[in-house]
Structure 1
Amino acid sequence: MSAGFQRQPFVLASASAARRALMAGVGLSVDLQPAELDEEGLRQANPQLGPADMAVRLAEAKALAVSRMRPGVLVLGGDQILEDDGVIVSKADDLKEIAARLRGFRGRTHHLHSGAALARDGAVVWRHVDTAALTVRAFSEAWLATYLEAEGAALTGVVGGYRLEGPGAQLFARIEGDYFTVLGLPLWAVLEALRDHGVIDR
């Protein structure tokens, strides 16, 4: 456990490298236990939920699934939904699909909804969602080809086909919202919730 300001251990129910890096970057030690979750099935079972609400629902499901196996421990779940003109966008299967997706984003604004939830003993004790609006610049085909070659198949692991902490930052003309929300976690709200639950010092 990190010395100084972390009082209790907690679990991060996520396989996301970005979320793990965010926790480490702010000096917190987490026990990693990714949730086994049928995300697509959960989405199909809740067609009434909009993109932002779905991000929270998935975060809750991850936190709950792991908290049932870890009694007495606070579990953090997170999920991110990309919304393009009201439609939820899933991860691409290959670079050809990513190229088509990025061309579709070109010159337009889409939204990322980052949901987070804390659970203990199979009950959600906190939930939150934050949204960022991302406007993609009118990039050239030559730039796109260079970008896809530089980033490669790793882009299939991120829903938008970009990593803001990498060359993907060059895609954007403007971003309205929090940087950490784009990375996949509403960090300021999460940290305040961890303070409220006695995990880290005030």
Structure 2
Amino acid sequence: MSQSIILASGSTIRAELLARAGVSFEVMTARVDEQSIKASLLAEGESPRNVADALAQTKAEKIGARVPGAFTIGCDQVLAFDGQIVSKPARLEEAKRQLQMLAGKQHQLHSAAVIVEGGKTVWRKVSDVTMTMRAISDDYLEAYLARNWPEVSHSCGAYQVEAEGSRLFSRIQGDYFAVLGLPLLEVLDYLALRGAIES
């Protein structure tokens, strides 16, 4: 009998990606102080890419310790602009400022996944995507946020490319699944290799 799979994330889109791929899994949200971990790692000079990886590992380890017999998938995504991390907007005004800042420029998304089994990290992947946002008029920005707030508050950068947010971009270089927050193909490949899913 194959081992159970746990998604240590409360992200709806990550759960949808796994479900649509026909994976049977359970969701157990890992409660971690992300801001404190980020601040500590950045103070130590870690890159945004490494911050994403560390957060994913922390979540996977926290849930994995409770269910050692399962494959526990921890995930995190970090948006980096000019070397700085841009967090999820807490307020509508903050979302507007973020989009104005990113408009017409490039930024990076670092999507990390870590799998823990038996209390140990057995697999990890950080997928890097370069996002090029088109210039956005103030009128469209106001209308976009009026239509899509508060849904976009769950997305770093205040956009959701799986919805109307796709109109904000002129180019995306990298894995589309990673943009949504999970390097899905690589996760599925590892789970198939270990016999956790049929292949």
TM-score scaled by structure 1? 0.94
CA deviations over 1:28-51 (Å, ceiling 9, x no partner): 111000101111111122223211
After the TM superposition, which residues 152-171 of structure 1 pair with which residues of structure 2 at under 5 Å, given as runs? 152-171=149-168
1:42-72 CA distance string (max 9 Å, x none): 1122223211111111111110000111121
DSSP 3-state at the match of 1:112: strand
CA contact (8 A) 2:3 2:69 kept: no
Question: Within the alignment, does 1:94 sit opposite 2:73 as a pair?
Answer: no
- Answer yes or no: is the 8 Å Cα contact 2:77–2:109 preserved in 1: yes
- Is the 2:4–2:69 Cα contact (8 Å) retained in structure 1? no
Q: Distance in 2 between matches of 1:104 and 1:46?
A: 24
> How many correspondences in the alignment?
197
Q: CA deviation at 1:78?
A: 0.6
Query: 41, 44, 48: which is aligned to 1:46?
Result: 41
In structure 2, how many angstroms separate the alpha carbons of the residues matched to 1:49 and 1:67?
A: 25
Q: Report deviation, 1:7.
A: 4.0
**1:121 matched residue in structure 2:** 118
Q: Deviations over 1:86-134 (max 9, x none)?
A: 1111111111111111011111000100000000122111111001111
What is aligned with 1:77? 74
**What is the identity, as a one-letter code, of the residue corresponding to 1:182?**
V
Is 1:173 matched with 2:189? Answer: no
Cα distance between partner residues in 1 of 2:90 and 2:111: 22
Residue number in structure 2 paired with 1:183: 180
CA distance in 2, matches of 1:129, 1:87: 18
- The CA distance in 2 between the partners of 1:28 and 1:120, in whole Å, is 17
Structure 2 counterpart SS, 1:143: helix
Conserved? CA contact 1:7–1:201, under 8 Å: no
Say whether the 8 Å CA contact 1:9–1:199 is kept in structure 2: yes
Give the aligned partner of residue 16 of structure 2: 21
- SS of aligned partner of 2:59: helix
State the Cα deviation string for residues 117-167 of structure 1 (Å, max 9, x = none): 000122111111001111110121111111011101222221110111111
Q: What are the ranges of 5 or more consecutive residues in structure 1 without an aligned counterpart?
A: 1-5
Q: State the partner residue of 2:30.
A: 35
Contact 1:92 1:98 in 2 (8 A): yes
SS in 2 for 1:68: helix
Q: RMSD of the alignment, in Å?
A: 1.3
2-structure distance, mates of 1:45, 1:86: 16
How far apart in 2 are the matches of 1:38 and 1:122? 20
Residues 64, 72 of structure 2: 8 Å contact kept: yes
Give 3-state SS (helix, strand or coil) of 1:81's partner.
Answer: strand
User: 1:9 is matched with which residue?
Assistant: 4
Report % sequence identity.
Answer: 38
